[in-house]
Amino acid sequence: MIPLRILIAEDEAVIAMLIGEVLAGLGHHVCATVSSADELVAAALMYQPELIIADAGLHDSSGLMAVATILKVDAVPHIFMSGNAAAVRASCPDAIVLEKPFDEADLEQAIAAAVAMLKSQ
């Protein structure tokens, strides 16, 4: 897989760090890690990532809404993480969703699916 510049939105610092380490081990570059929807939108504009991995629920904000805002400006491949994947799929039926907890293989498959989905559009 071609190395990607990835933006992570996760409000649990330890989880964000672990995801970043796995991504680095896969050869990707984490351009930024943020913990709120507002930071996610700002970082996407600033860093222009090739992929966004966003927690669907960011403390008091919505990763879903933040990604929807970003998509109005740029078609960025994205993956949502959630402890309740069914709820995310109910809101966004075509979304690629990783149910927490997930493993490295699940993450790799989700990345490949997100990139393929954008290329097919």
pLDDT over threshold 80, residue 120: no
Q: For residue range 3-49, what is the model confidence (pLDDT) as tens digits? A: 999 999 999 999 999 999 999 999 999 999 999 999 999 999 999 99
Q: Provide the pLDDT confidence category of residue 117 given band limits of 50, 70 and 90.
A: confident
Say which CATH number the domain at 91 has: 3.40.50.2300
Task: Please give the model's pTM, rounded to 2 decimal places.
Answer: 0.95
pLDDT over threshold 70, residue 121: no
98 sits in which H/E element: strand 97-99
Task: Give residue 37's Cα distance to chain centre.
Answer: 12
Distance CA 68, CA 66 (A): 5
- Provide, for the chain, the percentages of residues in helix, strand and coil under a 3-state DSSP scheme, each rounded to the nearest 5: 45, 25, 30
Q: Which of 7, 108, 104, 109 is nearest to 58 (CA)?
A: 7
Max CA-CA distance within the chain? 34
Which stretches does DSSP call E strand in 2-94? 5-9, 29-34, 51-55, 57-58, 61-62, 78-82
Q: For residue range 61-104, what is the model confidence (pLDDT) as tens digits? A: 899 999 999 999 999 999 999 999 999 999 999 999 999 999 99
Structural domain count, the chain: 1
**Residue range of the domain that includes 75:** 5-119
